[in-house]
Amino acid sequence: MDQQRIVLVSASPRRKELLRQIGLDFVVDPGGYEEELPRRSPSPHGLARRLSLEKARHAAGRHTKALLIAADTIVALDGRILGKPGSPPAAGRMLKALSGRAHLVVTGFTILDTGSGKSRTGSVETTVYLKKLSLEEINAYVGSGEPLDKAGAYGIQGLGAVIVDRIEGDYFNVVGLPLSALAGALKEFGVEVLGVE
User: Is residue 137 one of the residues assigned to a domain?
Assistant: yes
User: Is residue 192 one of the residues assigned to a domain?
Assistant: no
User: Is residue 132 one of the residues assigned to a domain?
Assistant: yes
User: Is residue 159 one of the residues assigned to a domain?
Assistant: yes
CATH number at residue 86: 3.90.950.10
Residue 115, C-beta contacts closer than 8 angstroms, at least 6 positions apart: 4, 64, 65, 66
- Identify which of 83, 70, 103 has the alpha carbon closest to the alpha carbon of residue 148: 83
Q: Measured between alpha carbons, how far is 150 from 80 in angstroms, rounded to an integer? A: 16
Q: Give the pLDDT score at 181.
A: 97
User: Is residue 150 one of the residues assigned to a domain?
Assistant: yes
User: Is residue 17 one of the residues assigned to a domain?
Assistant: yes
CB atoms within 10 A of CB 13: 10
Structural domain that includes position 147? 5-187
Q: Note the pLDDT tens digit of each residue in 140-171.
A: 999 999 999 899 999 999 999 999 999 999 99
In the structure, what pLDDT confidence band is assigned to residue 4 with cuts at 50, 70 and 90? confident
User: Is residue 197 one of the residues assigned to a domain?
Assistant: no
Active-site residue, selected from the candidate residues 2, 25, 72, 165: 72
Q: Note the pLDDT tens digit of each residue in 106-144.
A: 999 999 999 999 999 999 999 999 999 999 999 999 999
Domain count, the chain: 1
The question of whether 72 is a catalytic residue gets the answer yes
Q: Measured between alpha carbons, how far is 28 from 116 in angstroms, rounded to an integer? A: 21
Name the pTM for this structure.
0.91
Say how many residues make up the chain.
197
User: Is residue 38 one of the residues assigned to a domain?
Assistant: yes
